[in-house]
């Protein structure tokens, strides 16, 4: 059941990310957060998971602290957000791309399945956006919009699939949808991604 805490989180996310845009299609960043929360709710996620989905980038993109999230929305939401946060915005200098991704994968391994589910919804929406961007921009998208190269991004998604399967999402339709998007993004790796 959704109550006023969800509405409060939505309003706060809108305020925090009001000037942030998605890099590929320049849409308001809030659209991504709402999409991730919708995927969570449409798949029987709890209100706490949906709130964490709305706030999943607040720490790394807007400098909000996990403590502040805990004060506003409770320890469970804060723990979910912490589990799916790559690095705090205040970390200077930002660690290199691969170091951040390895840390994220380690966090997922230690996180409860409820938090990993938020990550799965997030990465599915990111993959769908990437797929749409490739359709619009072609292969130049990699150089134009991403710090990582195509092969590094592919490696990261392959590792994510391993972690999602390890957490019990092997037969979940969100993982099936992620694999479908990845097969379109990286057609040369389709068999490897589909294999258990």
Instruction: Provide the CATH number for the domain around residue 11.
Output: 1.10.3210.10
Q: Single out the catalytic residue among 47, 60, 86, 114.
A: 60
pLDDT tens per residue, range 79-96: 999 999 987 656 567 788
Query: Which segments of 43-172 does DSSP mark as H helices, in order?
Result: 47-55, 58-62, 66-73, 75-83, 97-110, 113-137, 141-145, 150-166
Which structural domain, as residue segments, surrounds residue 142?
4-194
Report the b/e string of 8-25 with b at 16+ CB within 10 A.
ebbebbeebbeeeebebe
| Banded model confidence at residue 47, pLDDT cuts 50, 70, 90 | very high
* Average pLDDT score over residue span 37-58: 97
At residue 191, does pLDDT exceed 50?
no
Which residues are CB-neighbours of 131 under 8 A, at least 6 positions away?
Answer: 181, 184, 185
Q: Single out the catalytic residue among 8, 61, 88, 177.
A: 61
* Average pLDDT score over residue span 111-122: 98
| Banded model confidence at residue 148, pLDDT cuts 50, 70, 90 | low
Three-state secondary-structure class, residue 86? coil
Half-sphere CA count of 52, side-chain side, radius 13 A: 29
CA distance 192 to 183: 10
* Average pLDDT score over residue span 4-31: 91
Long-range CB contacts for residues 100-105, cutoff 8 Å, separation at least 24: 101/156, 101/159, 105/159, 105/160, 105/163
Write down the pLDDT at residue 90: 60
At residue 127, does pLDDT exceed 70?
yes
The total number of structural domains in the chain stands at 1
Active-site residue, 144 included: no
Active-site residue, 61 included: yes
CA distance 170 to 163: 10
């Amino acid at each position: 059941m959704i109550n006023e805490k969800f509405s409060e989180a939505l309003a706060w996310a809108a305020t925090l990310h009001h000037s942030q845009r998605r890099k590929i299609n320049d849409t308001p960043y809030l659209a991504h957060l709402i999409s991730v929360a919708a995927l969570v709710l449409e798949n029987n996620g709890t209100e706490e998971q949906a709130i964490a989905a709305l706030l999943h980038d607040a720490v790394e993109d807007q400098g909000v602290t996990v403590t502040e999230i805990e004060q506003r929305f409770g320890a469970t939401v804060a723990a979910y957000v912490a589990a799916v946060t790559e690095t705090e915005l205040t970390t200077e200098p930002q660690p290199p791309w691969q170091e951040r991704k390895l840390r994220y994968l380690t966090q997922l391994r230690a996180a409860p399945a409820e938090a990993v589910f938020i990550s799965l919804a997030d990465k599915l929406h990111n993959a769908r956006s990437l797929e749409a961007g490739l359709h619009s921009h072609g292969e130049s998208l990699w150089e134009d919009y991403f710090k990582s190269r195509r092969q590094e991004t592919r490696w990261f998604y392959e590792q994510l699939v391993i972690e999602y399967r390890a957490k019990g999402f092997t037969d979940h339709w969100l993982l099936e949808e992620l694999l479908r998007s990845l097969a379109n993004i990286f057609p040369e790796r389709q068999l490897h991604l589909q294999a258990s």
